[in-house]
Amino acid sequence: MNPSMDDRHILAEMERRLSRDDPELATLLQTLNRQFTDSQDDTGSGHDDSGARFDWRWKAGIALAIVAMTGLLLAALVTASPPADDNHGPLSGHAAAASVADQATPLTHPPV
């Protein structure tokens, strides 16, 4: 995004005032600007904002996918039906089983 002409004029005025008010800081900033400009020209890898935006979107998409998969997994666990082999209901077509209490008490017969 290129700054408008008014913005450029304001920035130029700020630079002039900074140079006049604090020449040491202005010299230091100019030196740093030259160093970073030279290092980017040497490597040929100038920073591109579209790559940073793509990287941010990629990370956000992965995070969203992880959250969605976790939510689906939790929803499946919470709404899962009980297994079919639970012993809570009556058996269909079979005789009722004797309880443990019935099997433990011996049958007493009257003396003969």
Lowest mean pLDDT among 50-54, 62-66, 101-105: 101-105
| Highest averaged pLDDT of the listed ranges 19-23, 48-52, 63-67, 98-102 | 63-67
- State residue 70's pLDDT score: 95
CA angle, corner 19, sides to 14 and 22, nearest 5?
A: 110
- Select the highest-mean-pLDDT range: 19-28, 63-72, 95-104: 63-72
In this predicted structure, the answer to whether residue 74 has a pLDDT above a threshold of 90 is yes
Sole residue written with tokens 């209901």:
89
pLDDT computed for residue 101 by the predictor: 58
As a whole number, mean pLDDT of residues 9-30 equals: 86
pLDDT range class, residue 67, cuts 50, 70, 90: very high
- Is-contact 13 20, C-beta < 8 A? no
Residue 72: what pLDDT?
Answer: 94
Rounded to an integer, what distance in angstroms lies between the CA atom of residue 35 and that of residue 43?
Answer: 13
What distances in angstroms separate CA 46 from CA 1, 2, 42, 49, one per listed residue?
Answer: 15, 16, 10, 10
Q: Say what the pTM is.
A: 0.31
Mean pLDDT for the stretch of residues 100-104: 56
